Structure 1
């Protein structure tokens, strides 16, 4: 039984081009108690592979988190398969605002300790005891309330290019870093304030809502479906849009534009910019914001050193990396000292 990819990303990309068929980028998650994550993982891989579904799925005892690319013509079959799983029946599917048939080029289904790493080892903490879900309309209503504190549960490089007006945006690299910081900062408001949280698609703020309830916060709310669903409802119902900038997404598109505001700056020259790229030097691969002028000037590299290395023949680049430890900086997300205008 095949339980792994047999095609490279380039081979898959060629097949997608050849087929010329529409694909849908979407995501979903569900917190649930899964007894045998490995068995469930294998079940998903076989079914998704047959349906030509691509993407990244994490499975754990606490549930499932999936970002996918699904052939449009097979969406109904895909939906029927998902609905047949008892804890995924009618699960909300967040359809991407901006579509790209090459958002994912491989199918990766992995078993993880948790679907959202939180650093918590508290066995009394029940992730399914979540806060109150709110629609876009209710979110806007709460945002106007002086007793509401809006908190962005995403990381610094996400909120840097887009966030809700008036939101607290913790300067953190990971979700696990944000939990103790927010708890300490808002400790005096456990009973007198409404805690309104949001994230990309809902998965992080749902866990956070359960965590802060566990920590004694009395009025905990979360934006159902995250920024993705908020934008859909705002457009569909013609509501006021309180999100400024771009919504960072975890596929090859990198972001979806929600408003025309450019609130970030190029990390190299400081000019207004909100496009993330990875440094072209494979030994670096730093994720950072770069404007069009700097992309041309630096050949999509983060520094002069990387530019010179990336210009070398591929075999010479490999030789330079040989025998050295992993210097890949993709997880630094714009924190490199090479950048003059990093956040």
Structure 2
């Protein structure tokens, strides 16, 4: 069986947008010793393709990290297979808060050195000695304690559109960058309650173990991250301390958790929390753009990028080949208006 997609990505996206098939988006992870990640990748790909499961999955010797979309008619069979699997049986499935069924259009399962790039040497500390898990109710309670510090372990562009009240937000482009930033913010506060949160829990799982290793006495993590918190406050009628939108790493780019719009369009400054990628694929900048600017700039981050999209495809391809990858996958900031398209 082929272990990769052979259909053009644009064609797959178009097919997904036209499909009326109900699908369920979910994410999960587990830190567990996997002796042969490549063999597990092959096994999962062969099985999941039979159910038309799409998504992005990383497998490493330290575990698995997955965000997938499953046809709703196959969800129970898929869930049962996960729970019966020797490596995956004890993990938690986080079902999306808002789901239009258009989150993923293909399946990619990749073997990586780590399931989340963190820059840490895991041999120097016990990654299983993690922080205490908090339910939504417990999180709300400890958040009211003046001895508590809440740290958002996500990237700056995630926290920009949504975050918990009073949380320290790190100006990080990646989790690798976030860890040393958090360490500087928390320096000298080893006796405080340190509460960490992220999207689904995977980054906090590692970060909480790292900070316990660093001597912090009372380390906690929000169980299941923002996704599980959103479900719990709705199901139990709890106060919602999350403001704005939860950024997600799929085609949706966000799901509504709080009612407020707390961020602004990077081009005109109007209230907006809609992320998009610049339509000039040689740029591909991730930034926030309102409907008016999307119409004015035709989905681009700048006049220059807009001009590029009007060029013949052959010329656009040459520009893409010349553009360094590090600028093609940049993340925009409101304080420094997007300029990648002008380089």
* TM-score normalised by the chain length of structure 2: 0.93
SS at structure 1 position matched to 2:116: coil
Q: Residues of 1 paired with 2:329 and 2:16: CA distance?
A: 29
- For residues 146 and 297 of structure 1, do their structure 2 counterparts lie closer, same or farther at Cα, with a shift above 3 Å needed? same
Q: Residues of 2 paired with 1:169 and 1:246: CA distance?
A: 15
Structure 1 residue aligned with 2:330 = 332
> Which structure 2 segments of 5+ residues have no match?
none
The 8 Å contact of residues 303 and 338 in structure 1, kept in 2 or not, is answered as no
Q: Residues of 2 paired with 1:36 and 1:10: CA distance?
A: 33
- For residues 195 and 328 of structure 1, do their structure 2 counterparts lie closer, same or farther at Cα, with a shift above 3 Å needed? closer
Structure 1 residue aligned with 2:166 = 166
The 8 Å contact of residues 265 and 288 in structure 2, kept in 1 or not, is answered as yes
- For residues 240 and 330 of structure 1, do their structure 2 counterparts lie closer, same or farther at Cα, with a shift above 3 Å needed? farther
Q: Residues of 1 paired with 2:182 and 2:319: CA distance?
A: 43
Alignment map for 1:80-159 (pairs within 5 Å): 80-159=80-159
Shift of 1:330: 4.5
Structure 2 residue aligned with 1:254 = 253
* TM-score normalised by the chain length of structure 1: 0.93
Residues 213-272 of structure 1: CA distance to partner in whole angstroms, max 9, x if unpaired?
111111010000000000000000010000000000000000001122111111111111
Q: Residues of 1 paired with 2:319 and 2:248: CA distance?
A: 32
- For residues 88 and 200 of structure 1, do their structure 2 counterparts lie closer, same or farther at Cα, with a shift above 3 Å needed? same
Corresponding position: 1:307 with 2:306: yes
The 8 Å contact of residues 60 and 111 in structure 2, kept in 1 or not, is answered as yes
Q: Residues of 1 paired with 2:285 and 2:14: CA distance?
A: 27
Shift of 1:315: 2.9
Shift of 1:93: 0.8
Structure 2 residue aligned with 1:75 = 75
Q: Residues of 1 paired with 2:307 and 2:17: CA distance?
A: 33
The 8 Å contact of residues 157 and 333 in structure 2, kept in 1 or not, is answered as no
Q: Residues of 2 paired with 1:333 and 1:306: CA distance?
A: 15
Q: Residues of 2 paired with 1:7 and 1:93: CA distance?
A: 29
SS at structure 1 position matched to 2:258: coil
Q: Residues of 2 paired with 1:5 and 1:52: CA distance?
A: 12
Q: Residues of 1 paired with 2:131 and 2:52: CA distance?
A: 35
User: Number of residues paired by the alignment?
Assistant: 338
The 8 Å contact of residues 165 and 242 in structure 1, kept in 2 or not, is answered as yes
- For residues 297 and 328 of structure 1, do their structure 2 counterparts lie closer, same or farther at Cα, with a shift above 3 Å needed? farther
